[in-house]
Amino acid sequence: MRFFFKSRQFKIMVAIVAAVLLLTAIFGIVGTRMAPQTDIFGSIAQPFRSLAAKIREAAGDFSSAYNGGNSLMLENAELKSELDEMRQKLADYDEISRQNETYEKYLGIKEANNDFIFSRATLITRDSDDPYGAFTINRGSTSDIRKYDPVITESGVVGYITEVGITTSKVTTLLSPSLTMGAIDNRSGDSGITSGRLELAQKGRCVLKNLARSSGVAIGDYVSTSGEGIFPSGLLIGSIEYIGTDSINSSIYAEIKPFVNIGEIRDVMVITSFEGQLSK
């Protein structure tokens, strides 16, 4: 609306109205000073008076409409503000509900491991240059997070902390060759080491290697952490999907499909402390 008052059309309209009002005033003054029988100016001025009255009436209607429009705009603005506030409350409610659901899922892990201290975190950015799915979370040293802390979800191992800032940290996933974990086949008891490979990371898998040729591992077996290294024991890693023989040293290896889908991670838990943890 404010742009209309600055427009060329509005300025022309104002000039015309001013001219009509001026002529009406002139004819009115002259007409009152002449005798009635010679009041030709009164006859001439009459149409202008009528036009001026109509212009004043229209101006009054325009002013009412403008003021009414302003009132409507204010009401709309207030409604929009209330709607935005309701949306924010709904978003906050969804976030609280999601957090509660997350805590409930971790409760079983906590009950089975009373020594675990968790710090809940949310993924904020993914490293698009990392083929192994590294990402950054919204927790850092102010949340007592340190390098090498294990990162999990309720489904199993995600990875570990490799870089720590004040309020953010970088997580390297179990698909990366730089992460190695002592692991054990839950059924057969055979132990080995899990690590990542580029060709397997592209399929969302990692490898369990250094298994003895006499190993009894089988497809479908669950694999969990053995407690050797930076991870506590008993954390689920994934299930065995393929078994092969290493051509270099003739040992057995197994491809593992992690229980955690790295590409769909949103919330994680960082284990900031557990019994037997290596000193930070």
Spatial CA neighbour of 264 closest among 149, 168, 148, 133: 133
H or E segment to which residue 257 belongs: strand 252-258
Residues 183-201 have a mean pLDDT of 95
Residues 170-182 have a mean pLDDT of 97
User: Which residue type sits at 13?
Assistant: M
Strand partners, 157: 152
More reliable by pLDDT, 35 or 154: 154
Helix, strand or coil for residue 243? strand
Say if residue 248's pLDDT is above 60. yes
Helix, strand or coil for residue 44? helix
Residue 34: its pLDDT value, please? 47
State the average pLDDT for the chain.
Answer: 80
Spatial CA neighbour of 207 closest among 228, 232, 177, 185: 177
Residue 141 has which token pair? 């040293």
Domain residue limits, the chain: 2-79, 181-260
d(C-alpha 12, C-alpha 230), whole Å: 81
Residues 136-145 have a mean pLDDT of 96
Residues 240-256 have a mean pLDDT of 88
Say if residue 192's pLDDT is above 50. yes
Strands 135-137 and 169-173: antiparallel
User: Which residue type sits at 164?
Assistant: V
Residue 31 has which token pair? 């007409």
Give the model confidence (pLDDT) of 193-229 as tens digits. Answer: 999 999 999 999 999 998 988 899 999 999 999 998 8
Can you identify the CATH homologous superfamily of domain 181-260? Rod shape-determining protein MreC, domain 2 (2.40.10.350)
Q: Percentage of the chain surpassing pLDDT 70?
A: 66
More reliable by pLDDT, 277 or 87: 277
d(C-alpha 126, C-alpha 132), whole Å: 10
Rounded to two decimals, the pTM is 0.64
Among 11-15, 83-87, 132-136, name the most confident range.
132-136
